[in-house]
Homo-oligomer: A and B are copies of this chain.
Amino acid sequence: MSKNISIADIASALHLSKTTVSFILNGRAEEKRISDKVVKRVLAYVEEVGYRPNSLAKSLRTGKSNTIGLMVEDISGPFFASIARLIEDRAYENGYKIIYCSTDNNTAKTHDLIGMFRDRHVDGYIIAPPPGIENDIAELLKNDLPVILFDRYLPLIDTDHVIVDNQFGTYNATRHLIEQGYKNIAYITFASTQTQMTDRMLGYHKAIDEHKLKPNVKEIVFNRNDAEVIEPLTHFLQENKHLDAVLFGTDHIGTCGLKVINKLGLRVPNDLAVASFDDYSVFELYTCPVTAVAQPITAIADSIITLLLARLNAKTKAPVQKITLSTELIVRSSSKAK
């Protein structure tokens, strides 16, 4: 029994033509008037040697692999891990498998991975796109391959996407801090030109401007490594002792921020009020539970996979859909009134 057994091997072992064996294994024996005796011989042999009909070869014939390519920024982050998991469940229920990978927000790596997906005849794409990947996405669309973008979008590419209302999310969180009496509110975020991050920045400024306060923005270079985030964050908080509140732009920045706050011995909310974009267990279980802008994870995953399955099953081309879901501000003690 070998992993490399082919139709040719079976044909040769049984002194039959490859065509005959192929017709039998593809259920066309009757149509091709192949005798029952030959069919039984082939099926018995196939069982004996443990041959598996080759779905790769099948996908070459049919052009369909029942596989979806899912590209997230970083599978180890709680936001992307939860989304990936929910999409995988829904895809599996609908007969699709997921091939996933992390882009690291790296354009060259993403270009390479899209090539791999195309080579493997992936039926559809779900992508949290890094910057500069427009040409690759346009190429997929030109080839009638459905692409759903999520978390952020590419303004110059007209394809389906599912995002949240990032601008209102930070606007609402900042306004909440102002209403609680905080006046020196910092926004600490990753430096980024991507839509989800520029929208969050806009929302913060909008609330600050509306109340004629002074903005305090700290942008940190994106890094998966906690230590590389904690260091600049520590300096910023040490050098800006006038701050009375801080809004973190992502769950990763928020988690690192709490570690810095602990290290500096700051009490929340008395020394510094805190809120963060994204919500997960860390924020709920922190010493002083942290106010969070919660993304609707289940609804995001549902919208993405529903859109993609509709595209994959569509006989005709439906109009592009751009879906924006609302976030929810979960107020906890970390942002209570002074």
- Write the residues of chain A forming the contact surface with B, with a CB cutoff of 8 angstroms: 1-4, 50, 52-57, 59-60, 63, 67, 74-78, 81-82, 84-85, 88, 92, 97-102, 109, 113, 115-116, 118-121, 139, 142-145, 255, 258-259, 262, 281-282, 284-287
| CB of A100, distance to nearest CB on chain B (Å) | 6
Contacting A2 at CB < 8 Å: which of B50, B77, B143? B143
Picked from B88, B145, B285, the residue with its CB within 8 Å of the CB of A102 is B88
Q: How far is the CA of A3 from the CA of B117 in the complex (A)?
A: 12
Q: In the complex this chain forms, how many copies of it are found?
A: 2
Which of A52, A85, A113 has the most chain B CB atoms closer than 10 A to its own CB? Answer: A85
| CB-based nearest B residue for A6 | B60
Contact (Cβ within 8 A) B144 A3: yes
Report chain B residues within 8 Å CB of A98.
100-101
Q: Closest Cβ of chain B: how far from A84's Cβ, in Å?
A: 6
In the complex, which residues of chain B have a beta carbon less than 8 angstroms from the beta carbon of A144? 2-3
Which B residues are CB-close (under 8 A) to A78?
Answer: 76, 78, 81
* Bound CA span A52–B140, Å: 12
A-B interface, 9 closest residue pairs, ranked by CB to CB distance from nearest? A55-B119, A76-B85, A3-B143, A81-B81, A287-B287, A76-B81, A99-B99, A76-B82, A281-B282
Cβ A259 vs Cβ B284 within 8 A: yes
Q: How far is the CB of A307 from chain B (nearest CB, A)?
A: 19
- The complex places the Cα of A284 from the Cα of B259 at a distance, in Å, of 8
Partner of A285, one of B50, B82, B84, B262: B262
